[in-house]
């Protein structure tokens, strides 16, 4: 049998003797890999140093201490954030300026604040605080973002899962759950280039989610638009206009949007945003005022000067794309060349965002991660993209290629594929 014929057959279709020979080959390749002494990391979706360097002009800004309205940004006040920065990101997020609050550096903190306010006080449309309910449940599309699940777990909120498809969470599955169970109070969605799948919620799916009838009158869509501007191609996806859709459907308070510049400028020193109906914005500011006097408006002003216009944000993201797109292309190349046609792995082909979602042979994800760790390659723990770390098929691995330099991405991915091949061979060999 020629090598080309062998490669066109899936691994499972080969004879026991062929699989045993393949296993021996992969064991040798893995031992060679371990001898290289790698120390590589594909765990978190962090900007690389080159990406952070794009924003170093921020260190020389702002050039003034007053905003366009003449307000001294060094002083207290302005809980809603600088008006012109809010207007800039309102345009980028397809909402009105009065529907946006500009805050501190972390949208995740804003998410925790909103959940806390709902828990203690209830929302604009709540009958009572969530903490007084017998049970609170959230719908979690999977694979999904582990920090969302961690936050829910911390509150003691139960989680039910639905599939995350290419066009967003399965809307009929969501509608069935939310329509039949009053304890289901919300859903997490990363609508544009979802973490980790890269899915983009379509306008049609968003319309279904905003218009569906729910058993809980205060059902919320936590719309975490963390990657709205993080395009990998010139064909840039546009986020669904969820606030307009919800208002038109008669549920204006249902979506609460989050976004930030964390992966646009400085990950630890950006600006976060929250959006919703005008009533939701005032609800949020009202609760915020009990423990805050104003955000870091100096940092907001430097971001406003740095970008200049909404187009300035778009141009800046083009420079990001030039840095990270080759890394995603390298991930794709290696996966295709070494795993293509073997029938032991599938992966996403994102056009934006920070991750590639890799599904390996059922029952082998944990083994792949352990093999990689023993060879010096850090991967996100298997199951991280599922609530409580429980991937029922033990197959999903999230790959984050943005932080390492390109040669390190190549080395790390070659190593990961070697581990995938060995784990699959072990499984099939029994």
Question: How much is the average pLDDT of 248-265?
Answer: 97
pLDDT digit string, tens, across residues 37-67: 999 999 988 999 999 999 999 999 999 999 9
Please count the structural domains in the chain: 2
Matching residue, tokens 């594929």? 417
Question: How much is the average pLDDT of 288-306?
Answer: 97
Based on the fold, state whether residues 263 and 343 are members of the same structural domain.
Answer: no
pLDDT-derived band at 1 (thresholds 50, 70, 90) equals: very low
Question: How much is the average pLDDT of 340-368?
Answer: 97
Region for 3 from its dihedrals, namely left if φ exceeds 0, alpha if ψ lies in -120 to 50, beta otherwise:
alpha
pLDDT of residue 308 exceeding 80:
yes
Q: Domain ends where: 269, 284, 308?
A: 308
Based on the fold, state whether residues 224 and 320 are members of the same structural domain.
Answer: no
Based on the fold, state whether residues 248 and 304 are members of the same structural domain.
Answer: yes
Determine contact, residues 103/110, Cβ cutoff 8 Å. yes
Based on the fold, state whether residues 100 and 245 are members of the same structural domain.
Answer: yes
Based on the fold, state whether residues 395 and 344 are members of the same structural domain.
Answer: yes
CA 68 – CA 83 distance, rounded (Å): 8
Based on the fold, state whether residues 196 and 228 are members of the same structural domain.
Answer: yes
Question: How much is the average pLDDT of 70-86?
Answer: 97
Based on the fold, state whether residues 149 and 32 are members of the same structural domain.
Answer: no
pLDDT at 325: 98
pLDDT-derived band at 2 (thresholds 50, 70, 90) equals: very low
Give the domain CATH number at 231.
Answer: 3.40.640.10
The whole-model pTM stands at: 0.94
Rg value, the chain, Cα? 23
Residue 59 maps to a domain:
no
Q: Domain ends where: 249, 279, 308?
A: 308
Residue 331 maps to a domain:
yes
**Nearest of 54, 52, 85 to residue 309 by alpha carbon:** 85
Question: How much is the average pLDDT of 109-124?
Answer: 98
Based on the fold, state whether residues 99 and 183 are members of the same structural domain.
Answer: yes
Residue 413 maps to a domain:
yes
Count CA within 13 A, CB hemisphere, residue 226.
29
pLDDT of residue 75 exceeding 50:
yes
Q: Who's near 316: CB < 8 A, 6+ residues apart? A: 54, 55, 264, 307
Three-class DSSP labels, the chain: CCHHHHHCCCHHHCCHHHHHHHHHHHHHHHHHHHHCCCCEECCCCCCCHHHHHCCHHHHHCCCCCECCCCCECCCCCCCCCCHHHHHHHHHHCCCCHHHEEECCCCHHHHHHHHHHHHHHHCCCCCCCCHHHCCCCEEEEEECCCHHHHHHHHHHCCEEEEEEEECCEECHHHHHHHHHHCCCEEEEEECCECCCCCCCECCHHHHHHHHHCCCCCCCCEEEEECCCCCCECCCCCCCCCCHHHHHHHCCCCCCEEEEEECCCCCCCCCCCEEEECCHHHHHHHHHHHCCCCCCCCHHHHHHHHHHHCCHHHHHHHHHHHHHHHHHHHHHHHHHHHHHHCCCCCEEECCCCECCCEEEEECCCCHHHHHHHHHHCCEECCCCCCCCHHHCCCCCCEEEECCCCCCHHHHHHHHHHHHHHHHHHHHHHHHC
Based on the fold, state whether residues 301 and 323 are members of the same structural domain.
Answer: no
Residue 393 maps to a domain:
yes
pLDDT of residue 8 exceeding 80:
no
pLDDT of residue 430 exceeding 90:
no
Based on the fold, state whether residues 139 and 109 are members of the same structural domain.
Answer: yes
**Nearest of 7, 6, 38, 49 to residue 416 by alpha carbon:** 38
Q: Which domain holds residue 285?
A: 77-308
Question: How much is the average pLDDT of 12-32?
Answer: 96
Residue 327 maps to a domain:
yes
Matching residue, tokens 């719309």? 223
pLDDT digit string, tens, across residues 15-24: 999 999 999 9
**Nearest of 200, 165, 195 to residue 398 by alpha carbon:** 195
pLDDT of residue 5 exceeding 60:
no
pLDDT digit string, tens, across residues 215-242: 999 999 999 999 999 999 999 998 899 9
Matching residue, tokens 């969470």? 169
As a whole number, the mean pLDDT across the chain is: 96
Q: Domain ends where: 263, 292, 308?
A: 308
Residue 69 maps to a domain:
no
Determine contact, residues 334/410, Cβ cutoff 8 Å. yes
Based on the fold, state whether residues 37 and 153 are members of the same structural domain.
Answer: no
Based on the fold, state whether residues 176 and 224 are members of the same structural domain.
Answer: yes
Give the domain CATH number at 19.
Answer: 3.90.1150.10
The alpha carbon dihedral of 155, 161, 166, 168 has a sign of negative
């Amino acid at each position: 049998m020629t090598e080309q014929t062998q490669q066109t057959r899936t691994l499972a279709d080969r004879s026991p003797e062929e699989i045993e020979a393949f296993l021996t080959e992969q064991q040798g390749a893995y031992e060679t890999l371990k001898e290289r002494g790698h120390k590589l990391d594909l765990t978190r979706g962090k900007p690389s140093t080159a990406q952070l360097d794009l924003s170093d002009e921020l260190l020389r800004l702002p050039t003034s201490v007053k905003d366009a309205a003449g307000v001294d940004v060094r002083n207290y006040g302005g809980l809603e954030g600088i008006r012109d920065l809010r207007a800039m990101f309102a345009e980028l997020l397809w909402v009105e300026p009065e529907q946006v609050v500009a805050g501190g550096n972390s949208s995740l903190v804003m998410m925790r604040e909103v959940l806390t306010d709902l828990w203690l006080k209830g929302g604009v449309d709540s009958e009572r605080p969530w903490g007084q309910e017998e049970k609170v449940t959230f719908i979690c599309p999977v694979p999904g973002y582990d920090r969302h699940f961690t936050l829910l777990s911390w509150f003691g909120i139960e989680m039910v899962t639905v599939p995350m498809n290419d066009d967003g969470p399965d809307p009929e599955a969501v509608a069935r759950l939310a329509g039949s169970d009053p304890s289901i109070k919300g859903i997490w969605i990363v609508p544009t280039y979802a973490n980790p799948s890269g899915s983009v919620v379509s306008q049609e799916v968003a319309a279904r989610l905003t218009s569906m009838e729910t058993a809980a009158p205060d059902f919320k869509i936590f719309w975490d638009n963390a990657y709205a501007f993080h395009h990998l191609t010139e064909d840039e996806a546009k986020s669904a206009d969820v606030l307009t859709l919800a208002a038109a459907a008669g549920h204006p308070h249902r979506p609460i949007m989050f976004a930030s510049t964390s992966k646009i400028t400085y990950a630890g020193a950006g600006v976060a945003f929250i959006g919703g109906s005008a009533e939701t914005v005032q609800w949020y500011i009202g609760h915020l005022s009990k423990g805050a006097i104003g955000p870091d408006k100096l940092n907001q002003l430097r971001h406003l000067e740095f970008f200049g216009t909404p187009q300035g944000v778009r141009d800046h993201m083009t420079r990001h794309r030039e840095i990270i797109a080759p890394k995603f292309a390298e991930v794709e190349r290696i996966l295709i060349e070494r795993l293509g046609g073997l029938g032991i792995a599938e992966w996403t082909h994102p056009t934006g965002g920070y991750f590639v979602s890799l599904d390996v042979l059922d029952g082998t994800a944990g083994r792949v991660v352990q093999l990689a760790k023993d060879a010096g390659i850090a991967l996100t723990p298997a199951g991280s993209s599922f609530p409580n770390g429980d991937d029922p098929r033990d197959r999903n691995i999230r790959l984050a290629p943005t932080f390492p330099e390109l040669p390190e991405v190549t080395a790390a991915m070659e190593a990961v594929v070697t581990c995938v091949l060995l784990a699959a061979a072990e499984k099939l060999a029994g």
